[in-house]
């Protein structure tokens, strides 16, 4: 139900859901669309090499999660790390060098999950993006590189509020 109107056709449901979520989305961002990311600098002699994927990272994939639009289920890399580690490493290294994420990894399937209340009320749903499993693995690699850098450079002191998450 949207604005007191009940819709029946799938196309109408899509339009109603789109209108609802667009109405609550804020397009305000901290950077303008034309802003370029800062250039990476090698300030202290560190190597800016692409990280290499380890089979151990794939072992921690949750096989109960859904696959993204690329159709790769988490079970595939988890159960066949010896087959996917090398090709994924090549893709990750190329992405690191070019600073571009593969287009397929920027896509998502959006599913609506009912929170609570009446199922007819669109406000009782939350959207969940199902993204590429290899893309999520790459995000974890980048996160681990950033976390290691922050810890190595002591960029955030353990005494700072909220930093416990980083040092656990």
Per-residue confidence (pLDDT) for residue 137, from 0 to 100: 92
Per-residue confidence (pLDDT) for residue 47, from 0 to 100: 52
Residue 32 lies in a domain: no
The tally of domains found in the chain comes to: 1
Q: Which domain holds residue 133?
A: 10-23+49-167
Per-residue confidence (pLDDT) for residue 43, from 0 to 100: 53
Per-residue confidence (pLDDT) for residue 27, from 0 to 100: 63
pLDDT along the chain (168 residues), means of 10: 71 82 69 55 55 78 94 95 91 91 92 90 89 93 85 78 65
Residue 96 lies in a domain: yes
Residue 34 lies in a domain: no
Residue 43 lies in a domain: no
CA of 32: how far to CAs of 35, 36, 37, 38, 41, in Å?
5, 9, 11, 14, 22
């Amino acid at each position: 139900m949207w604005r007191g109107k009940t819709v029946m056709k799938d196309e109408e449901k899509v339009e109603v859901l789109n209108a609802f979520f667009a109405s609550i989305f804020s397009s305000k961002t901290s950077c303008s669309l034309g802003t370029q990311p800062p250039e990476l600098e090698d300030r202290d002699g560190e190597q800016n090499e692409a990280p290499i994927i380890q089979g151990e990272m794939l072992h921690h994939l949750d096989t109960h999660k859904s696959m993204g639009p690329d159709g790769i289920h988490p079970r595939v890399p988890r159960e066949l790390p010896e087959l996917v580690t090398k090709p994924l490493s090549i893709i990750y290294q190329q992405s690191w060098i070019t600073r571009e994420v593969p287009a397929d990894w920027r896509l998502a399937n959006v599913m609506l999950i009912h929170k609570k209340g009446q199922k007819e009320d669109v406000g009782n749903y939350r959207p969940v993006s199902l993204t590429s499993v290899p893309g999520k693995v790459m995000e974890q690699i980048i996160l681990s590189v950033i976390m290691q850098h922050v810890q190595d450079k002591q960029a955030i002191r353990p005494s700072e509020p909220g930093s416990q998450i980083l040092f656990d």
